[in-house]
Chain A
Amino acid sequence: MKVSVNWLREYMPIALPANELAEKISRTAVEVEGQSRPQGDMKKVVIAKVLSVVPHPDSDHLVITQLDAGEDEPIQVVTGAPNIAEEQTVVLAKHGSLIGDGVKIRRGKLRGEKSNGMLTALQELGMDNSVAPKELEAGIWVFDEADAADLKPGQDAFEVLGFDDDILELGITPNRADMLSMNGTAYEVAAILDEKAQLPEFSLAESDETTESLISVTAPEDLAKKYAVRVIKDVHVQDSPLWVQRRLWNMGIRPISNVVDITNLMLLTYGQPLHAFDYDQLPAHELSVRTATEGEVIKTLDGVERKAQAGNIVIDSAGEALMFAGVMGGESTEVTDQTTNVVLEAAIFEPKAIRHAARDQNLHSEASQRFERGVDVEATFRALDHAAALIAELGAGTVTKGRVVAQDFAYEAPVVKVSTQHINDVLGTDIQTAEIAAMFERLGFGFEELDGEFAVMIPSHRWDISIPADLIEEVARLYGYDNLPATLPTGETTPGKLTTKQQLIRDSRHTLEGLGLNQAISYVLTTPEKASQFMMADATEAVEVNYPMSQERRVTRGSLLTSLLDDVAYNVARKQDDVSLYEQGRVFVSNGATALPEEIEHIAGVVTGNVRDRDWDQAAQPADFFYLKGIVEQLLADYGFVDNVRFETNTNRPEMHPGQTADIYVGATFVGFIGQIHPLTTKMYKVGQVFGFELNLTTILELPRVKSTYEPVSKYPSISRDLAILVDRQVESADLVARIKENGGADLHDVTVFDVYTGSNVADDKKSVAYSLRFVNYDHTLVDDEINAAIDNITKALQTEFDAEIR
């Protein structure tokens, strides 16, 4: 909402410069989002009277004018304005002036004729075309004769046009709809400055003819809590006087004609939307408020034919829906320059219905915005009377006797109780009762007070206040938030620590970072196609949003690997070929339209390109399965599961390489998988070879885990033996190790693979695998016989089960 500081000064004396006033409003009421002065840095633009207009000898569209600009000699200006005429009062940008868009005006010659300035339109002085009363193409700005009578040639045009005003742009929060009017803003500013706001006065003269004899109205209470009309007869629809126009354009509203302008002026003054009908265009001399029938067509003022939806409130006359009540008027009964008799409507329409209608019709008007958020119920009929008085005054019409009222109610001020004690308890302050009383007085709230207990009567213009907390806020902001103490909560202390789950997730992240993966945070919403990739469980359904902003962000993800592949693709497209990332986050499994979906914590990682660049010392190290597996093994080892971690070959994951993928189990529980992403999948993402893993942390969290345990280090030396064996190629190392451990006796401490070989000297269907076995005993120094016996056992078992040849 724009606020003119000059207009505000009509309510109270304001000595502060505009920027200081803005600062006070921002710190006490609502944010001042902008402050401007229409004049900007423009200068030397004056009022001038056209003395003569003669054709330009060398041009058929230019004319030569002599202007009285209050100087000794007339000023000659050549202009192409189509609407120029003698006797007009116009705006002259003199030689040396600065006008809109930083344009400098200098004397010069136009086709050989001297021109000592430029006649301007308001748009050329920086006014927006949507606000300026006439289109720029129509020509220069010409003052109406009535206004011109008060103007003197040479007078500063900016002052005349109101461009010397300061305009504040208030960011009205939903609770402060009372400030969507000048009266409301004035109440607030008066409270801030400790002044008294003088509200606008008017006197209304009525003719003897009764309004009742001209029109009848009906309105059900559930649609309109107040509804009344007045009739103004014999109106001359014409331009508004300058003071009205000036006010409107400074507030960002385009002046149209006196009747429309006055309804807009009242909207700005009282925050009360009004509507004017052409009395003679009404189908019948009656108006009624009703809900629309579905599909009923109304052609609104913007020329659009709109289909009403059931529940939209419309104004009806003789069965015809004329307009969307409180949202936008209809073309058929619009006030035009042919109008002579006007019906003026003031009402309070049901906020929810207005909100729905504005949304249904996509028409968020100044009126609908105010009806949605509430209006001052005491101002509705006052605004109607004030408007009628002004229309009569400016349009030389007569107001008929009385309002015709369909709905009305008397305002009963709600009483809200609050105590000094309670206020100080909430704010942590020590404000005295007298200070609080003074604040309520500044706000214009009536109250009774006894021993610090207040009963506050809330005036109709502050409908946002209904509970003690609202009054505490009023005190807090007038007291000043700067004056509040800065303390910390006292009272019972509570322990603050991570839960097991939070600790596990945090540690997992830190582990992966220590192992060289950078943390990614990607978008959760993705495409249905991607959402169904890399699934760990069968037949799960993604969660889909109703109205996505784009097809790329339609459903929740079902895996983190899809996100990470998107991230890899983004990097690869930017020539970042070496990428090591992990992400921790949730995947979602729908449980239908009413139940919350399952949200499962996952952690996943990808590596692609080189994990280490070549340097002076070493060759580059390309990412591969075993590099990533090492990371995953370390991560899993850190969890300290009671059960063993196993990697099982899985040739059937659709998005994974069939020969380079393992499912990961802890004991019998499936926790995730690792492998090379299938070339067809990476192709879809437009990336090269990528290795990835994904683990279900929610499952992992439920698995039995051991705390770190201590066992003494053996006093006796360990003994290592190497064992090289030849087996069929498809025999898996994990099986060999398992068999070695089973048969290696109690002293076999660990088994490490140190060589895997295929190639020359080894048959095509065979491979050579070499293990280092370390034996440890805690009671004595091991002797060769013991080790030999263990190795014998192992070799026999391997020979029997795998037909292994010991080398």
Chain B
Amino acid sequence: MSLQDDLKALRQQALLRISAAKTLKELNEERVKELGKKGSLTEVLRGMKDLSADERPEVGALANEIRNALTDRIAERQALLEKEVLDAQLAEEQIDVTLPGQPAIQGQPHVLQQIIEGLEDQFMGMGYQIIEGPEVEQDKYNFEMMNLPKDHPARDMQDTFYISDELLMRTQTSPVQARTLEQHDFSKGPLKMISPGRVYRRDTDDATHSHQFHQVEGLVVDKHITMGDLKGTLLAVAHQLFGEDHDIRLRPSYFPFTEPSVEVDVSWGPVTPDTKPEEIEWIEVLGAGMVHPNVLEKAGVDSSVYGGFAFGLGPDRFAMLKYGVEDIRNFYLNDVRFLTQFDQKG
């Protein structure tokens, strides 16, 4: 047999053995056996020295070809065996992915806070400041500066927790407006503010009454503010709170601090161009109006130059309407089963 024949036989047998290797360890042993320094290929090539100069290149080329073929086959076999090992490992590592994850502990903002914060963000976007004020107020700011002198019949509309003749638990957040209006420097631009916060009324707590609730009141005072601007602003509020496709309507009402005064209804359902007017269900959600000249004058603002609008709404009532909360006391008793329901983000 020629050396060429030996090499060819070696190739055939080695390829078979490589393919038969069952483990990476066996494969590695095979690699050493065939291609190592003491391997069979090396062994065969030792016979090269006996060949003629003419034969050597031919045999050399064949030897290289065989080496490459074996190397390739080993790599192929190695990839296959590695994949088998990995597959076995992965199969071993299988888990029940339907089991629950470790609970992440996450608290929720109160539903009233969510409504208030949503309004705050919206109004900041429209250039309003957020201004808070004292919850225990002077009669002067809570009533008198809001055009409600001591014997005004409208004071009956709101029963008040008095602390002394002069002090009371504020019944509305409008005193914050009076305080701000009094301080505002109109040479630095218009006043645009909302005042969110807790307010108090001398009411017996039941499903629809609470001695403590929240208000967000807004005020804009500038030289050219119209009732159309009020309507547009309230429409934006309704869109924020109820959705873009809801409509509003204004009805005459009375508040001592605005003239004209209106109640604002929001459509319960969406209103499209196809909706018939009689099909719209209206719900009363807020009060508003053009700032009464007396309120401006009492705060030292010239009502012949400046005017504006004001509005007030109740996050409690909003939340009750929006989520169908049937009892206002739920907001203040803080049952965790209640608090954790309002967890939708985004």
Contacts and interface: CB of A to CB of B under 8 A. Distances in A.
Interface of A: 26-31, 173-176, 351-352, 355, 372-373, 425-429, 467, 469-470, 472-473, 476-477, 481-482, 484-499, 502, 506, 509-510, 512-525, 543-549, 553, 556, 567, 570-571, 574, 576, 578-582, 585-586, 588, 593-594, 596-597, 599, 611-613, 615-618
A553 B228 contact: no
Contacts of A506: 117
A481 B249 contact: yes
B157 A599 contact: no
B310 interface: no
Interface of B: 99-100, 102-103, 105-110, 112-113, 117, 120, 123-130, 132, 134-138, 151-154, 157, 161-167, 169, 189-190, 192, 198, 200, 202-205, 211-212, 220, 222-229, 231-233, 235-236, 249-254, 256, 259-263, 290, 292-293, 307, 331-337, 339-340
B334 A570 contact: yes
Contacts of B117: 506
B107 A492 contact: no
Contacts of B262: 481
Given A492-B189, A546-B163, A596-B136, A518 B107 contact: yes
A470 to B, nearest CB: 6
A30 B130 CA distance: 33
B93 to A, nearest CB: 16
Nearest to A172: B254
A570 B107 contact: no
Given A544-B163, A549-B202, 17 more contacts: A27-B252, A31-B263, A173-B253, A469-B292, A470-B259, A477-B252, A489-B192, A489-B229, A491-B190, A499-B130, A518-B339, A545-B162, A581-B339, A593-B165, A596-B138, A599-B136, A616-B99
A586 B211 CA distance: 17
A174 B136 contact: no
Contacts of A546: 161-164
B320 to A, nearest CB: 14
Nearest to B231: A486
11 contacts: A28-B252, A427-B227, A428-B227, A469-B290, A472-B290, A484-B228, A496-B127, A516-B107, A547-B162, A549-B211, A617-B102
Contacts of A514: 106-107
Contact of A485 (B124, B126, B231, B292): B231
Given A30-B252, A543-B163, A489 B190 contact: yes
A773 B250 CA distance: 69
Nearest to A424: B226
Given A488-B126, A496-B123, A521 B167 contact: no
B211 A525 contact: yes
B124 to A, nearest CB: 4
User: Per DSSP, are chain B's interface residues mostly helix, strand or loop, or mixed?
Assistant: mixed
Nearest to A564: B334
B324 to A, nearest CB: 19
Contacts of A31: 251, 253, 263
A521 B138 CA distance: 24
Given A173-B254, A522-B334, A425 B127 contact: no
Given A489-B192, A524-B198, A543-B163, A613 B107 contact: no
A174 B157 contact: yes
Nearest to B212: A523
B245 to A, nearest CB: 15
A297 to B, nearest CB: 26
A492 B306 CA distance: 14
A29 B262 CA distance: 10
B30 to A, nearest CB: 42
Given A173-B254, A426-B307, A571 B127 contact: no
B293 A467 contact: yes
B136 A486 contact: no
A518 B108 contact: yes
Contacts of A586: 135
A476 B260 contact: yes
A521 B110 contact: yes
Q: Which of B105, B106, B117, B126 has the most CB of A within 10 A?
A: B105
Given A481-B252, A489-B190, A489-B222, A612 B103 contact: yes
A494 B192 contact: yes
Nearest to A592: B164
Nearest to A613: B103
Contact of B134 (A513, A545, A574, A599): A599
Contact of A519 (B110, B136, B290): B110
A496 B129 contact: yes
Contact of A513 (B108, B166, B226, B259): B108
Nearest to B343: A518
B234 to A, nearest CB: 8
Contact of A509 (B113, B120, B204): B113
Given A494-B192, A495-B127, A502-B130, A489 B233 contact: yes
Contacts of A571: 334-336
A611 B105 contact: yes
A544 B136 CA distance: 11
Nearest to A578: B336
Given A426-B307, A498-B130, A521-B331, A175 B226 contact: no
Contact of B189 (A470, A494, A525, A580): A494
Contacts of A615: 100, 102-103
Contact of B334 (A351, A372, A494, A581): A581
10 residue pairs, one from A and one from B, having the closest CB atoms: A428-B228, A428-B226, A173-B254, A516-B105, A473-B260, A481-B250, A496-B124, A593-B164, A567-B334, A513-B107
Pick from B125, B126, B335 the residue with the most CB of A within 10 Å: B335
Contacts of A485: 228, 231-232
Most chain-B Cβ atoms within 10 A of its Cβ — which of A517, A523, A599, A618? A523
Nearest to B290: A426
A553 B162 CA distance: 13
B189 A489 contact: no
B39 to A, nearest CB: 44
A488 B252 contact: no
A487 B229 contact: yes
A494 B129 contact: yes
A574 B335 contact: yes
A470 B340 CA distance: 48
A355 to B, nearest CB: 6
B66 to A, nearest CB: 49
Contacts of B220: 489
Contact of B224 (A352, A425, A495, A515): A425
A161 B254 CA distance: 36
A472 B212 CA distance: 35
A594 B253 CA distance: 34
A493 B127 contact: yes
Contacts of A30: 252
A612 B106 CA distance: 11
Given A175-B254, A521-B331, A567-B334, A596 B229 contact: no
Q: Most chain-A CB neighbours within 10 Å: which of B134, B224, B231, B233? A: B231
Contact of B339 (A26, A425, A519, A599): A519
Given A492-B190, A549-B211, A597 B236 contact: no
Contact of B232 (A488, A574, A576, A594): A488
Contacts of B107: 512-519, 580, 582
A486 B309 CA distance: 13
A702 to B, nearest CB: 17
Contacts of A499: 130
A578 B99 CA distance: 23
Contacts of B192: 489, 494, 496
B261 to A, nearest CB: 7
A482 B99 CA distance: 57
B275 to A, nearest CB: 14
Contacts of A596: 134, 136-138, 167
Contacts of A489: 190, 192, 220, 222, 225, 229, 233
Contacts of A27: 249, 251-252
